[in-house]
Amino acid sequence: MMRATLRAAAPTVRALASRPPRGDARRAPQRFRGGIVARSRRVPGASPARRRFAALTRASDASDAPASVETPLPPPPSPASASPGLGVRSSGAVLVPHPDKAEKGGEDACFVLRELGAFGVMDGVGGWADEGVDPAAYSNTFAEKAAAAVIAGERDPRAVIARAHERVEVVGSATACVAVLSAERERSSSAEPGAVPSDGTPVGTVHIGNLGDAGAMIARDGASVFSTPAQQHEFNCPFQLGWREFYPESDRASDAEVFAVDVRPGDALIMGSDGLWDNVPPREVAEVCAACVGRGETAQETAEAIASRAFEHSVDEAYDSPFTMEARRNGYDVEWWEKAQGKELVGGKMDDIAVVVAFLDDAEKCPAPAPEEGEEGGGGEEEEEEEEEEEEASGGEEDAAEDAESSSRVTREP
C-alpha cells in the first residue's frame, strides 16, 4: 500500500501535533497549530539546544519558599541505595526541543535524583502558546516542586504529583510522570511465576505515578516488560494538571494511575514525554537500551541514543509512527481521493523529546552517596561533576508486561 505523508493530509489532520489545554480549546480544534512532520533535519546530538540539567543543589523547602531564597532543607530520606536491595547504579537525562522551540529550550521538563531513587518527566501542554502563555513555565515549575517534595521525604509518586500540583501557581498545564524506587531484598517464596528471581537475587519495586501521555517503562534483556498506558480524554488531548484558579478544567492528581513493578539488577527504568512514545514504541526503546548496555555505555549515553532515535523517526515522512497509527484508529487519515489511490496517513511527529534513563543494580554495586559539605573524603572536582550529572532537575503500545522469561509482577495500585 502506498503511504502519503502528512503534507498531503487534510489541514485538520496536519494540526494534530499541537495539543490544546482541556476546556474551550479542546472543543475548538481549528485553533490548533503546527504539524507532525517538521522541515528541520537537525540531529539532536550535534545541536547546542540539547540540554542536560543543572544540579539540584537546593530546592524549596516543605513550605515551598522561592528557590532563590536560601532555606534549609529537612534531612533527606534514606536513599534507595542505602538499603540492602536495589539501587540506581547510573542515571542520565536529555531534553531535545522541537526545532521551532530551540531558542527557548522546549517545553518539557524533568528531574533526576539518583541517590533518592526518584525521577520525573513533565510535558507542558503546547496549546497554551495560542493564548500567549509560555507552556514551559508550568512544566519547569512543576518539576522543581516535585523534586522538592521528594527531597522533603515524600516517596509516594501520586502524593509527589499532588504536592507539586498544589504549589504551582503558574498559568498553564502539564502532564506528569513520577517514578520512585523502593529497594527491598526479597527471596523467592511467592507462588506467582516471574515475581522474583528464585536464586535470592535482590529485587525492589518501582512505584510509578502517571497522569497524561508522558510515561515510563521497564526494559529487561532487550524487551519491554512493562509500560504505562496513556491517559487521554480524547485523541491527542491528554489528562493534564494546571493552576485551578485560572484553569478550572484541570484534572486532579488523584486521577493519576499508580503502578508497582517488581525490578531486579540489570533492569532499566526509562521515562519520556510523548515526544518519545509518539515516535518510538517501547519494544524499540528496549532494543536501543540493550544495544547501549552491550557497548558498555552509561545511562546518560543511553538516554541520548534513545532521544536520537526518537528525533530521527520524528523527521521521517515515510515512517509509520505510533502517533499516526493512533490517529488512523481515531478516524484521521488522508483525503478520500488519496485513499482511493491506496495511500494512508504516515509520518513522524515533531515534538519536544525528554528521556530519563536509570540503570538498576544491587545496591552494593551502586555509587555511595556523596559526602556532605565539610565531611572528609570529598572526592574533588571529578566527583562533583559526576554528581551534577546524576542529581539533576530542570525544565526540560505496549500496555502491560510481556509474558516471557523476562516477565515482571505488576500491581495497579488504587
Query: Residue 52: its pLDDT value, please?
Result: 36
* 3-state class (DSSP) for residue 327: helix
Interval 265-281 mean pLDDT: 98
What pLDDT shows up at residue 54?
31
CA neighbor of 141 nearest in space, from 104, 111, 116: 111
State the CB neighbour count (10 A cutoff) for residue 122: 34
Q: Which residue has the cell 532521544?
A: 307
Q: pLDDT per residue over 84-102, tens digit each?
A: 589 999 999 999 999 888 8
**Nearest Cα to Cα of residue 155 among 121, 183, 175:** 183
- What distance in Å separates the CA atoms of residue 350 and residue 97, rounded to the nearest whole number? 9
In the chain, the percentage of residues whose pLDDT exceeds 70 is 64
Least confident of 176-180, 248-252, 366-370, 389-393: 389-393
Each residue's pLDDT tens digit, 199-249: 556 689 999 999 999 999 999 999 999 999 999 999 999 999 999 999 999
136 contacts 105 by C-beta, under 8 angstroms: yes
Give the Cα separation of 126 and 34 in Å (integer). Answer: 10
Angle formed at CA 312 by CA 96 and CA 88, multiple of 5 degrees: 55
Q: Provide the percentage of residues in the chain whose pLDDT is more than 90.
A: 57
Between 407 and 265, the more confident residue is 265
Q: Which of 324, 306, 328, 304 is nearest to 316 (CA)?
A: 324
- Per-residue pLDDT band for 195 (boundaries 50, 70, 90) equals very low
> Contact, 251 vs 22, CB < 8 A?
yes
SS3 of residue 272 by DSSP? strand
Give the mean pLDDT of 53-82. 36
Output the pLDDT for position 7: 32
Output 36 or 289, whichever has higher pLDDT: 289
CA distances (Å), 231 to each of 236, 280, 377, 412, in order? 10, 18, 47, 14
Nearby residues of 2 by Cβ (< 8 Å), 6 or more positions away = 341, 342, 343, 344
Higher model confidence: residue 395 or residue 240?
240
Helix count (H) and strand count (E) of the chain?
Answer: 9, 17
Q: What is the pLDDT of residue 325?
A: 96
Sequence-ordered list of residues with C-beta below 8 angstroms from that of 248, at least 6 positions apart, any chain: 23
* Burial readout 167-200 (b: 16 or more C-beta within 10 A, e: otherwise): bbebbbbbbbbbbbbbbbebeeeeeeebbbeeee
Gap between the Cα atoms of 263 and 251, Å rounded: 30
Is 114 within 8 Å of 87 (Cβ atoms)? no
Please give the mean pLDDT across all residues of the chain: 76
pTM: 0.74
| Rounded Cα–Cα distance for residues 193 and 403 (Å) | 10
Task: List the one residue out of 19, 208, 262 whose CA is nearest residue 127.
Answer: 19
Does residue 127 contact residue 21 with C-beta atoms inside 8 Å? yes
pLDDT category at 412 given cuts 50, 70, 90 is: confident
3-state secondary structure of 295: coil
Grid cell for residue 149: 517534595
SS3 267: coil
Band of residue 261 on the pLDDT scale cut at 50, 70, 90: very high
Cα–Cα distance between 155 and 168 in angstroms, integer?
Answer: 19
Q: Which pLDDT value is given to residue 76? A: 42
- The three-state secondary structure class of 225 is strand
CA atoms of 284 and 265, how far apart (whole Å): 21
The pLDDT assigned to 276 comes to 98
The pLDDT value recorded for residue 19 is 58
